[in-house]
């Protein structure tokens, strides 16, 4: 089968490589010469475990092709997936300009056979009807087309695994022929099939991300109670999670959620709700608690550290990615800089991205221990594996003062045996 993906970000590139690996002839359309050149050479541009190897494998097999020209790919494709970004506008509304511009390009290049145009981009309810209207307004009369919504649920850091071993494959369309073709295309992928209409498929993705964001904010809200009452957030949430109706998964207190999905999608759902006349106070509270989590963390540092000199371990919004979009590190660093802190940072893969934001305002280090030299404290913001079992004796020698602010609670069990540190976790009594 010939398949085209428009867009080569996390969703487009990963899914394109996976579908090429299944034996399909896959085209990827981009718009930047430099990025396309790098992709053609086997450089995936983004950091994602296993992606470089999968890209190189399918380039060698000549199953994967990159182009700027819609005319190279669209005419012969049976399925065209839209996988471009929908970043938030200032008011929180999803910016659909790229999606709608792509729809026009697709429509103008369809030929005289049946094509499914399926949107993988996360878009508000009703967007696929706009896509359908644009395509029908510019395609040739002989071109037959059906529009579908096929949202993705991959997680950065485990994107290839999540694509192949999905919990569910959601296909939304009013066309039986489109559903049949998409089911066939997804046959190698695990997961329960959910066949529904366009609006439901669009809303499923937003609902999923909003629920996950809600669980994180709820855990953080409970951590606020714990810190003010002497309760232990892990004990509380572990016990609550034993109730099978609730569960423990994703109720992790910390410095809040970030990344390209949760902040954007919660705000887009908020915006859609307001446009529909729905009371969105619940989702507003989810966002407010997330912001409060970061604010509290900065206040905790300011209130306890003896000198304004700190190291930061972890800059990406989560481990195993270089993505810093809406990362807690950006908020924390910005606000510490406003308080005249000197900051040394380290992250295994996200240093170049953070440098684009802060330039020479902070110090960039080659390893985690270099960042500790002469500092008063350490703030841990991302739970990378290499941070989980550090050499505490070496840390003590390097640091001028010995304060650890653990935004991910990765040291609580170990720090008891290394009590030369003043330790400030999330939702627990500090160890001083």
Q: Which residues carry out catalysis?
A: 261
**Three-state secondary structure call for residue 323:** coil
Let me know: does 64 contact 20? Beta carbons within 8 Å.
Answer: yes
Q: Is the dihedral of CA 108, 87, 89, 30 positive or negative?
A: negative
Strands 309-313 and 79-82: unpaired
The secondary structure of 363-419 as a DSSP string is EE-SSHHHHTTT-SEEEE-S--GGGSS--HHHHHHH-SS-EEEETT--SHHHHTT-T
- DSSP structural state of residue 90: T
CA distance 121 to 260: 12
How many helices (DSSP H) and strands (DSSP E) are in the chain? 17, 14
d(CA 303, CA 286): 26
Are the beta carbons of 7 and 30 closer than 8 angstroms? Answer: yes
Q: Residue 325: count other Cβ atoms within 10 Å of its Cβ.
A: 17
Residue 323: what are its φ and ψ, rounded to 5°? -75, 125
First to last CA, the chain: 63
Radius of gyration in angstroms for the set of CA atoms belonging to the chain, rounded to a whole number: 24
- What the block records as the tokens of 322 is 């270089």
Tokens of 404: 């650890």
């Amino acid at each position: 089968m010939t398949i085209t993906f428009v867009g080569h970000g996390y969703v487009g590139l990963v899914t394109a490589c996976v579908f090429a690996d299944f034996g399909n002839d896959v085209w990827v359309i981009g718009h930047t010469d430099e990025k396309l050149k790098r992709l053609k050479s086997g450089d995936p541009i983004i950091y994602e475990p296993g992606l470089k190897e999968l890209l190189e494998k399918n380039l060698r097999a000549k199953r994967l092709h990159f182009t700027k020209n819609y005319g190279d790919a669209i005419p012969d494709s049976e399925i065209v997936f839209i996988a471009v970004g929908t970043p938030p506008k200032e008011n929180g509304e999803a910016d659909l300009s790229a999606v709608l511009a792509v729809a026009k390009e697709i429509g103008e290049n369809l030929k005289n056979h049946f094509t499914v145009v399926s949107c993988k981009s996360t878009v508000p309810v009703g967007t696929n009807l706009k896509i359908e209207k644009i395509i029908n307004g510019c395609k040739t009369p002989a071109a037959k087309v059906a529009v579908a919504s096929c949202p993705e649920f991959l997680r950065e850091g485990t994107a290839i695994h999540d694509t192949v071993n999905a919990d569910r494959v959601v296909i939304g369309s009013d066309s039986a022929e489109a559903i049949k073709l998409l089911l066939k295309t997804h046959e190698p992928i695990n997961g329960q099939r959910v066949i529904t209409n366009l609006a439901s498929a669009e809303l499923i993705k937003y609902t999923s991300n909003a629920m996950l964001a809600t669980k994180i904010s709820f855990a953080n809200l409970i951590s606020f109670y714990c810190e003010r009452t002497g309760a232990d957030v892990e004990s509380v949430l572990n016990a609550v999670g034993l109730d099978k109706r609730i569960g423990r998964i994703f109720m992790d207190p910390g410095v809040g959620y970030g990344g390209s999905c949760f902040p954007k999608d919660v705000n887009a759902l908020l915006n859609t709700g307001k446009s529909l006349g729905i009371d969105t106070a619940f989702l507003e509270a989810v966002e407010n608690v997330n912001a409060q989590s970061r604010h509290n963390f900065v206040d905790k540092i300011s209130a306890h550290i003896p000198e304004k000199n700190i190291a930061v371990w972890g800059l990406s919004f989560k481990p195993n990615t270089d993505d810093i979009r809406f990362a807690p590190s950006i908020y924390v660093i910005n606000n510490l800089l406003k308080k005249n802190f000197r900051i040394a940072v380290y992250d295994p893969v996200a240093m170049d991205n953070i440098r684009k934001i802060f330039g020479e305002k902070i110090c960039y280090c080659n390893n985690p221990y270099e960042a500790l030299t002469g500092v008063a404290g350490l703030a841990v913001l991302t739970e990378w594996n290499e941070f989980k079992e550090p050499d505490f004796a070496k840390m003590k020698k390097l640091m001028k003062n010995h304060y650890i602010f653990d935004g991910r609670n990765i040291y609580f069990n170990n720090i008891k045996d290394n009590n030369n540190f003043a330790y400030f976790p999330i939702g627990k009594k500090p160890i001083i």
